[in-house]
Amino acid sequence: MTASIVQQDSAEVTSSETSWTQTFFEHGYGMKDVTAGNALVVFWAGVVPNQVSSMTDNCGNTYVQVSGAAINDANSGRASDVWWAKNVAQVTDPGKIFALTINLSGTASGSWGAVIFEVSGINGATIVAATASIDDTNDSTFSGPSLNGGREAVFVTGLAGIFGATATVALPWAIVQTPGISNGGGGSTENNGGQSCAALVSRGTQQAIFTPQTASPHWFIGAISGVAFIPTSGAVQRQFFSVVCGRLAEFLRMKMMSSWAL
């Protein structure tokens, strides 16, 4: 199965909380129920010294932290992390909406939030993760970590920080803003809240490049988490084997028909 991003959503909280439950993928916003068997990827943007201790949802799915994706940046006071659940179940009650609960290691204050992606084709993925602390002053751009996905992979790069300006992400990346604003293409602007997440399905080595949009100041301090979900080679090999077998069968069929014609 080819990896793809099915849908995404985001939300923000500005109160002091140790646990936060939020509904996502509400139908009134043009979204749909999560499809059973897909994966859910959650980027969290928060404040130090807190980190995510666990995640649960109302479908009974199991979430695990992506190794190497968590960072606490003391300079900016921001933190970020990525969790995911694979081969998920979906909401079975027609009257319910998918709800995610994020539990923290302490009480978080200020502005923090999450971006959630429904992704197909990555249940058996190999995962590559990297983080960065950014302290850019008067630079024309700032970058997320470089991630090598090899063959086609799903890339997610999330920011938790303080912007001195609105920013865009270079194509072909697409940005998902917080709170609750999903934009479908690169070049979408990010608000001054400093929490955002960009995603891409592509091959090779990828790096999200962000550009401040106002004349001055051009700065960003904060934490960045980047993750690449790389579908297993077994899935690629099975797909290749299927294609080869199909073409061989077609070749033999044509040869047989040719023999009958003689």
pLDDT at 192: 41
Which CA distances in Å does 140 have to 79, 211, 229?
24, 6, 29
The structure tokens 């865009």 sit at 168
Task: Specify the pLDDT at position 37.
Answer: 95
Task: Assign 125 to helix, strand or coil.
Answer: coil
Residue 249: partners with Cβ closer than 8 Å, 6 or more residues away: none
What is the per-residue pLDDT for 246? Answer: 54
The Cα 32–Cα 97 span in angstroms is 9
User: What tokens appear for 226 in the block?
Assistant: 């980047």
Contacts of 53 (CB under 8 A, 6+ apart): 103, 104, 105
Q: Residues 241-255: pLDDT tens digits?
A: 344 445 556 656 665
CA 30 to mean position of chain CA atoms: 19
pLDDT of residue 159: 83
pTM of the model: 0.81
Query: Helix, strand, coil proportions of the chain in percent (round to 5)?
Result: 10, 50, 40
Which amino acid is present at 152?
E
Cα gap 43→81, rounded to integer Å: 6
Tell me, what's the pLDDT at 143?
Answer: 86
3-state SS assignment for residue 222: strand
Quote the pLDDT of residue 256: 63
Cβ atoms of residues 72 and 152 within 8 Å: no
| Ranges in the chain, pLDDT < 70 | 1, 137-139, 163-167, 177-194, 212-219, 233-262
pLDDT of 240 reads: 38
Taking only the tens place, the pLDDT of each residue in 142-186 is 888 999 988 789 999 988 877 655 567 888 888 775 433 333 334
